[in-house]
Chains A and B, each alone.
Chain A
């Protein structure tokens, strides 16, 4: 036992299988346990970082999408607004064309009337012969 104490003083220990060790067997065990735990911790942190990274990525894409959609929405809202104006101008153009056609119709109506009148006159003229 004394030898053990001497060894201990010199900082040397024997473990269960009687191998000479610098550390105390239980310290050794604790150290290795700590080492393992550290490993575990590091890998967990790693995993966590990966997870967070992908999450950030995802939020980023979503943000981008949202931004896009937002722009689209604004665009279409503007489009909607301008379409009213566009329609108005189109309507104006069509109205001008309609007015044009109307004057043409009026012209043709006048011609038609004059032809009708002429026809009536000619019929009357023919009637003169049939009655006399």
Chain B
């Protein structure tokens, strides 16, 4: 990916341009030391003067009221320009000064609207940070420092403020009692900061000629090499995947992990300000020599199976089939905003249309009009795809028909979602709750309604990543979650019991991905690639789960790698420096999955015998438990040397009744409650009681016995034997109460048990 720069031939500003901002998708406002405010139309490439500032006003920063706050309120659009005479000026969209407010002593260096547009933040040479109301009334003075504050930004939720303090960065909560977080960020004075609302990362650039990335706790994530000149501007793209860095005669496009996508060296002097368009495809830059530089991102590349898709120009996409070297050039009417390639379909969103191409035929796309041009991201699954724009979520079929539009609770907007916190599968859509990051909402992907009773999956920790398994029927749908501690949890989408703590699959997992063809899960743990061939074994047989895990040492990944794709048998990983590594995976597990899905047990056993892999046998063993195929289960467990389980399977096989067998297999998976429920449903009360007795669940056994008025004496008898063995007195009141009225006669009990077994 790189930036394609267009610099207008003649300078429209006669002096240094100090600030630029986007007023709409195709309009830029710029102003500079020549006191002119210009408006640029990018479609026609023309500029016209909007207004002129008074001769003593030298602008320093500009901020446009966020568009989302305008809806509903019938006020004219407002942008604010801060100036060197200590004032800020509110402008109407037509360019008229609505109000000028005396704000600081000395110059105001930075001014920013909050995300909801309700407050304005200013910082100045006098070291003060002030918060103003929408109409320009002073609300509070947040900080008072002995030095200039060069840059200040709001946190994603607008509850914190980040500002520069010499070489340090400070996060100051708006609550007066909370302590600010301060850390030394650069070796020189920090000149610019930016905080992205989607990925919650902080970007800073300073006079030490470096730019750095921090997380919201001030921990360093990336530090660039030393540049030739101080970094004068940094800016995140709205979706948080890219950022730009400006310096003298330099504009750099970087990935969110810090490595550089492309470097441009225009001879325009220092780049004082960079602004991204709302759709994240275009950049405007204010240059010291009076130019306003415009650039857009091109050469974005996508790969899927044998297809390579490259955005070669603003409106041209090139498709290449690597296998037969067939080329295809797609010419579009408008600028491409987003594209996505997966599951045999290429989805392209332009500024006015959405086009869906099938990889079989690139000539006739399905075309429809999206709701909003400001698209955050596209996510595809086998049957349909999801478009998230700034307003909401929409699921479309590949024919271009809108299937549904799930409603986010509490008026949450789509712009606060990221591709990590949303996961689409053929029948379920999982969205991490924006307001409560401990829970995940599940929607039916076909109706857009909440799944089941609508209760979210709740976790005890902050959830970072969600991903749904992609294949099989709804009963195979599992949700994988990574929380703040980087622990990986797995839960079925169909809840079996409520209020259950999520079962943990692994810890220290940085990134995860389900295979798009079979339900295999892979994850990254420092320097290791983990592949769970059958993650469901967690719910079937926990003991052999470690055996179904394939670990692969991958020291070549370096630090902080990221899983990009897991398709067929190839895992694609992107290293922290941006290089892409692909790793092939064993094809056997996928084959095994397919055979089992087709009920071909003999072939499955043959495959395992051929491959001679313990992990494969372990997979097969847990698969047989799920499908309740006892014969194959015996073979599989024998192969991995689980003698006790083979014995137990033999015992199960000897049971004549089908329900009891089912219950026993369920018991083998460790779900006692379910097994008991099956037994009671089938009318095997004695078995259910016996099950609880075996597990020393005395009270439950007694409860069942009393409820069904049978085997009360059995329970009491066994309890007595147990107490005698451990030399203890009866302590349970319930048992004391019932033992009074019941006489224990072992002959009676044994004959009763025999009778029960006869009955089966």
- A-side residues, CB < 8 A to B, are 92-93, 96-97, 100, 103, 106-111, 114-115, 117-118, 121-122, 125
- Chain A nearest Cβ from B176, distance in angstroms: 46
Q: Give the residue of A92, A108, A122, A125 whose beta carbon is less than 8 angstroms from that of B228.
A: A92
Are B570 and A118 in touch, CB under 8 angstroms? yes
Q: Give the residue of A100, A103, A114 whose beta carbon is less than 8 angstroms from that of B582.
A: A114
> Which residues of chain B from 224 to 243 have any CB-CB distance to chain A below 8 Å in the complex?
228
Is B397 on the interface with A (CB-CB < 8 A)? no
Q: Give the residue of B262, B581, B584 whose beta carbon is less than 8 angstroms from that of A110.
A: B581
User: Which residues on the B side are within 8 Å of A107 (C-beta)?
Assistant: 577-580
The verdict on A100 contacting B262 (CB below 8 Å), with A93-B249, A110-B575, A114-B556 known, is yes
Are B582 and A96 in touch, CB under 8 angstroms? no
- B-side residues, CB < 8 A to A, are 228, 249-250, 259-260, 262-263, 265, 556, 570, 575, 577-584, 587
Are A111 and B265 in touch, CB under 8 angstroms? no
Expressed in whole angstroms, the Cα–Cα distance for A96 and B578 within the complex equals 18
Closest 10 CB pairs of A and B: A107-B579, A110-B579, A114-B581, A100-B263, A118-B584, A93-B265, A111-B580, A121-B584, A114-B582, A107-B578
Task: Report the nearest A residue to B584, measured CB to CB.
Answer: A118
Are B582 and A111 in touch, CB under 8 angstroms? yes
12 A-B pairs with CB atoms under 8 Å apart are A96-B228, A103-B577, A106-B577, A107-B580, A110-B581, A111-B579, A111-B581, A114-B580, A114-B581, A117-B583, A122-B584, A125-B587
Expressed in whole angstroms, the Cα–Cα distance for A101 and B577 within the complex equals 14
- Chain A nearest Cβ from B4, distance in angstroms: 15
Expressed in whole angstroms, the Cα–Cα distance for A24 and B465 within the complex equals 137
Are B263 and A97 in touch, CB under 8 angstroms? yes
Are A100 and B260 in touch, CB under 8 angstroms? yes
Are B265 and A114 in touch, CB under 8 angstroms? no
Task: Report the nearest A residue to B249, measured CB to CB.
Answer: A93
Expressed in whole angstroms, the Cα–Cα distance for A121 and B578 within the complex equals 24
User: Which residues on the A side are within 8 Å of B250 (C-beta)?
Assistant: 96
User: Which residues on the A side are within 8 Å of B579 (C-beta)?
Assistant: 106-111
Task: Report the nearest A residue to B569, measured CB to CB.
Answer: A122
Q: Give the residue of B259, B260, B262, B582 whose beta carbon is less than 8 angstroms from that of A118.
A: B582
Expressed in whole angstroms, the Cα–Cα distance for A92 and B263 within the complex equals 13
Task: Report the nearest A residue to B581, measured CB to CB.
Answer: A114
- Chain B nearest Cβ from A125, distance in angstroms: 8
Expressed in whole angstroms, the Cα–Cα distance for A106 and B587 within the complex equals 30
Expressed in whole angstroms, the Cα–Cα distance for A125 and B582 within the complex equals 17
- Chain A nearest Cβ from B184, distance in angstroms: 27
User: Which residues on the B side are within 8 Å of A110 (C-beta)?
Assistant: 556, 575, 579-581
**11 other A-B residue contacts (CB within 8 Å) besides A106-B579, A107-B578, A110-B575:** A96-B250, A97-B263, A97-B265, A106-B577, A107-B579, A107-B580, A111-B580, A114-B581, A114-B582, A118-B583, A121-B584
Expressed in whole angstroms, the Cα–Cα distance for A96 and B266 within the complex equals 13
Expressed in whole angstroms, the Cα–Cα distance for A117 and B583 within the complex equals 8
User: Which residues on the A side are within 8 Å of B577 (C-beta)?
Assistant: 103, 106-107
Task: Report the nearest B residue to A103, measured CB to CB.
Answer: B260
Are A96 and B265 in touch, CB under 8 angstroms? yes
User: Which residues on the A side are within 8 Å of B584 (C-beta)?
Assistant: 118, 121-122
Expressed in whole angstroms, the Cα–Cα distance for A92 and B247 within the complex equals 14
User: Which residues on the A side are within 8 Å of B259 (C-beta)?
Assistant: 103
- Chain B nearest Cβ from A72, distance in angstroms: 26
- Chain A nearest Cβ from B228, distance in angstroms: 6
- Chain A nearest Cβ from B616, distance in angstroms: 15
User: Which residues on the A side are within 8 Å of B260 (C-beta)?
Assistant: 100, 103
User: Which residues on the A side are within 8 Å of B249 (C-beta)?
Assistant: 93
User: Which residues on the B side are within 8 Å of A118 (C-beta)?
Assistant: 570, 582-584
User: Which residues on the A side are within 8 Å of B580 (C-beta)?
Assistant: 107, 110-111, 114
- Chain B nearest Cβ from A31, distance in angstroms: 79
User: Which residues on the B side are within 8 Å of A103 (C-beta)?
Assistant: 259-260, 577
User: Which residues on the A side are within 8 Å of B263 (C-beta)?
Assistant: 96-97, 100
Task: Report the nearest B residue to A115, measured CB to CB.
Answer: B582
Greatest chain A CB density within 10 A among B260, B575, B581 is at B581
Expressed in whole angstroms, the Cα–Cα distance for A115 and B556 within the complex equals 13
Expressed in whole angstroms, the Cα–Cα distance for A109 and B556 within the complex equals 13
- Chain A nearest Cβ from B658, distance in angstroms: 41
- Chain A nearest Cβ from B482, distance in angstroms: 24
Expressed in whole angstroms, the Cα–Cα distance for A131 and B168 within the complex equals 65
User: Which residues on the A side are within 8 Å of B578 (C-beta)?
Assistant: 107
Expressed in whole angstroms, the Cα–Cα distance for A105 and B300 within the complex equals 17
Task: Report the nearest B residue to A109, measured CB to CB.
Answer: B579
Expressed in whole angstroms, the Cα–Cα distance for A114 and B583 within the complex equals 7
Expressed in whole angstroms, the Cα–Cα distance for A107 and B257 within the complex equals 14
Task: Report the nearest B residue to A125, measured CB to CB.
Answer: B587
Greatest chain B CB density within 10 A among A109, A110, A114 is at A114
User: Which residues on the A side are within 8 Å of B582 (C-beta)?
Assistant: 111, 114-115, 118
Expressed in whole angstroms, the Cα–Cα distance for A115 and B587 within the complex equals 17
User: Which residues on the A side are within 8 Å of B587 (C-beta)?
Assistant: 125
- Chain A nearest Cβ from B289, distance in angstroms: 15
- Chain B nearest Cβ from A112, distance in angstroms: 10
- Chain B nearest Cβ from A115, distance in angstroms: 6
User: Which residues on the A side are within 8 Å of B262 (C-beta)?
Assistant: 100
- Chain B nearest Cβ from A127, distance in angstroms: 14
User: Which residues on the A side are within 8 Å of B570 (C-beta)?
Assistant: 118
Expressed in whole angstroms, the Cα–Cα distance for A117 and B579 within the complex equals 15
Expressed in whole angstroms, the Cα–Cα distance for A114 and B249 within the complex equals 36
Expressed in whole angstroms, the Cα–Cα distance for A92 and B580 within the complex equals 29
Greatest chain B CB density within 10 A among A92, A118, A122 is at A118
